Amino acid sequence: MGDSSRYLVLDAGTTAGRALVFDGNGRALAEVARDWSYEAPEDCAPWGREFAPARFWAMMADAAREALAAAREGTVVAVAATGQRQATVLVDAEGHELYAGPNIDLRACFEGARLLEENGERIHALTGHLPPMMFASARWLWLQEHKPEVCSQTHHLLMMGDWLTWRLCGLAVTDATNAAETGLFDVTLRTWSPELAAAVGLPPEILPQVLPAGAVAGELGRQAAAALGLCPGIAVVVAGADTACGTIGLGLTRPGQVGVVAGWSAPAQMLLDEPRFDPARALWTTCSHFAHLWVLEGNPGPCGSAYRWLLNLVLPAGTYEQLDELAAGVPPGSNGALALAGPRIADYGNPHLLWGGLLLPQANDLLPIGRAEFARATLENIAYALRANLERVEAVAALRTPQIDLGGGLSRSRLFPQVLADVLGRPVRVSAQPSVSGLGAAMCAAAGIGDCAGLADAATAMKQPGLAYSPQRAVQAEYLDAYERWLQVYRGLETLSVDLV
């Protein structure tokens, strides 16, 4: 690949959209983010969320122009898009978006609960995913009941990254990692399931063509090119879902490897050479970028978002670096403070509300607890939840991984990787490029246009070595007790939470 080759990546995350420019060595030459938020329509209160597609596209295009200006020299040879899983966009025959819902759109709670009760076992056997209320299948049922005109006019059903690809080249395509997040895809066969589509009354012709990640979808159209400040005709490459792109960005290509993309959430993802389903239906089984590999995932849910919540709470005008400095001044165990807010142990076959909060020792007058303890306890809470999810993944897979690869926003922390290594009791290797989902999409772009021999080659050629953190023996021993205490409290709160529902 030429030294002047550049890959533009659009990454539509949960809390922000990002435009990144990478070179052929996997270095991010520019990264520009635009924070965004969602609307709460009255007709699907209190859980429904939507976004304005035109506004989001304009924000992505604006970020892309700024990133390209910052990257300066070089020629953009390919564009790729990735995005949050479960986010869905419905488009009519004229190219107008009829519905755009993010991954946190839970308007279909009742429809999903009905699907879970009536056919949960079969849905899990085909999709590897529960609960249905998170996915396009249940939202389609809600729209049939409340907005039938949207369903009758729908020409394409797209996931978030697919929608960006459609905006770029005008073609409705997807890949297995995105399709697997619809509730309509057979993850074992890697194809749309007529059975699942028929169960929710969804016409199969609105489902996009499934292409391999790294395939060229089409060429950059004139309108999109003008919006981005590029020339039309540039290759638009299929990249896949953000977490799947993250595993590629971490350089994971072999069975048994585990990656954690610690952004809004922090799923622990293990690559396997066959689809392995959790008998308890607590975990997700999904597709990887590679046709011969699958992923077994334990997702603790809000992790980075929990740390962001804490930042806004204790340091409203502060930075993550300042919050890290506060936490670093506190010994392991946070002087007895225990956080249970945000992350949880995955239990997708049994969706329920969960109590949480911050627990303090009663001797607080003798051992004051303040912002610093809250900060460290929150990071420890994320690490404990990751350990619990990883242990569940390893139990179902009957494999134990010797080390963890870490990327995402939380990998920028100078403290969290060490805390995670100490809690897990095994090395944590941190990506030199935190935006691993964007890097994975760039790897897809490089493979798609032939700059690399394939995705595996791109994952090797474009990954730069990062820092490795080894567990500290004395601290690791202390965390053994702290983790067991966290588990005990978590289980107690879980018992209370079951009574809530």
For residues 167 and 259, membership in a common domain is answered with: no
For residues 328 and 181, membership in a common domain is answered with: no
Model confidence band, residue 495 (pLDDT cutoffs 50, 70, 90): confident
At CA 186, angle to CA 181 and CA 187, rounded to 5? 70
Model confidence band, residue 354 (pLDDT cutoffs 50, 70, 90): confident
Residue 58 located in a structural domain? yes
Average pLDDT over residues 336-357: 85
Last residue of a domain, one of 222, 244, 266: 244
Model confidence band, residue 500 (pLDDT cutoffs 50, 70, 90): very low
Average pLDDT over residues 385-392: 97
Percentage of the chain exceeding pLDDT 70: 97
Per DSSP, which regions of 191-313 are E strands?
191-192, 209-210, 216-219, 235-238, 258-261, 268-272, 284-287, 294-298
Nearest alpha-carbon partner for 85 in 295, 335, 393 = 295
Residue 86 located in a structural domain? yes
Which pLDDT score is estimated for 228? 97
Which pLDDT score is estimated for 271? 98
Number of other residues whose CB lies within 10 A of the CB of residue 244? 32
Residue 164's contacts (CB-CB under 8 Å, 6 or more residues apart) are 10, 12, 57, 60, 81, 83
Residue 458 located in a structural domain? no
Residue 389's contacts (CB-CB under 8 Å, 6 or more residues apart) are 267, 268, 298, 299, 300, 345, 346
Nearest alpha-carbon partner for 220 in 174, 170, 172 = 170
For residues 150 and 169, membership in a common domain is answered with: yes
Range of the domain at 110: 5-244
For residues 255 and 133, membership in a common domain is answered with: no
Which pLDDT score is estimated for 87? 96
For residues 417 and 495, membership in a common domain is answered with: yes
pTM of the model: 0.94
Report the C-alpha gap between 144 and 199 in whole angstroms: 13
Q: Check if the beta carbon of residue 87 is closer than 8 Å to that of residue 159.
A: yes
How does strand 88-92 pair with strand 16-23? unpaired
pLDDT in tens, 119-159: 999 999 999 999 988 899 999 999 999 999 999 999 999 99
Report the C-alpha gap between 312 and 318 in whole angstroms: 8
Which pLDDT score is estimated for 499? 46
Residue 461 located in a structural domain? no
Packing angle, helices 416-424 and 473-498, rounded to 10: 80
Greatest alpha-carbon span in the chain: 68
Q: Check if the beta carbon of residue 431 is closer than 8 Å to that of residue 404.
A: no
- Whether omega for the bond prior to residue 331 falls within 30 degrees of 0, making it cis, is no
pLDDT in tens, 203-243: 999 999 999 999 999 999 999 999 999 999 999 999 999 99
The helix (run of H) or strand (run of E) holding residue 373 is: helix 371-397
Residue 449 located in a structural domain? no
Residue 100 located in a structural domain? yes
CATH number at residue 311: 3.30.420.40
Report the C-alpha gap between 55 and 95 in whole angstroms: 16
Percentage of the chain exceeding pLDDT 90: 82
Would you call 304 exposed, middle or buried from its count of C-beta atoms within 10 A (0-12, 13-18, 19+)?
buried
Average pLDDT over residues 26-50: 94
For residues 255 and 292, membership in a common domain is answered with: yes
Average pLDDT for the chain: 93
For residues 127 and 199, membership in a common domain is answered with: yes
For residues 217 and 264, membership in a common domain is answered with: no
Coil, strand or helix at 337: coil
Per DSSP, which regions of 172-219 are E strands?
173-174, 185-186, 191-192, 209-210, 216-219
Per the structure, how many domains does the chain have? Answer: 2
Number of other residues whose CB lies within 10 A of the CB of residue 331? 10
Q: Which of 75-89, 305-319, 351-365 has the highest mean pLDDT?
A: 75-89
Report the C-alpha gap between 479 and 487 in whole angstroms: 12
Q: Is the pLDDT of residue 428 over 80?
A: yes
Q: Check if the beta carbon of residue 183 is closer than 8 Å to that of residue 136.
A: yes
Residue 450 located in a structural domain? no
As given in the structure block, the two tokens for residue 148 are: 């039938």
Average pLDDT over residues 337-352: 86
As given in the structure block, the two tokens for residue 215 are: 């395939």
Model confidence band, residue 501 (pLDDT cutoffs 50, 70, 90): very low
Residue 78's contacts (CB-CB under 8 Å, 6 or more residues apart) are 7, 8, 234, 235, 236, 237, 445, 446, 448, 449
Last residue of a domain, one of 211, 244, 277: 244
Last residue of a domain, one of 244, 272, 295: 244
Report the C-alpha gap between 156 and 160 in whole angstroms: 12
For residues 84 and 215, membership in a common domain is answered with: yes
Packing angle, helices 371-397 and 320-328, rounded to 10: 90
pLDDT in tens, 260-273: 999 889 999 999 99
Report the C-alpha gap between 262 and 250 in whole angstroms: 12
Average pLDDT over residues 284-305: 94
Which pLDDT score is estimated for 16? 93
Average pLDDT over residues 427-431: 97
For residues 274 and 190, membership in a common domain is answered with: no
Q: Is the pLDDT of residue 494 over 90?
A: no
Number of other residues whose CB lies within 10 A of the CB of residue 95? 11
Nearest alpha-carbon partner for 494 in 373, 302, 346, 384 = 346
Residue 465 located in a structural domain? no
For residues 229 and 305, membership in a common domain is answered with: no
pLDDT in tens, 172-185: 999 999 999 999 99
Q: Name which residue leads in pLDDT, 121 or 72.
A: 121
Average pLDDT over residues 79-99: 96
For residues 63 and 129, membership in a common domain is answered with: yes
Bridge partners, residue 429, by sequence: 405, 468
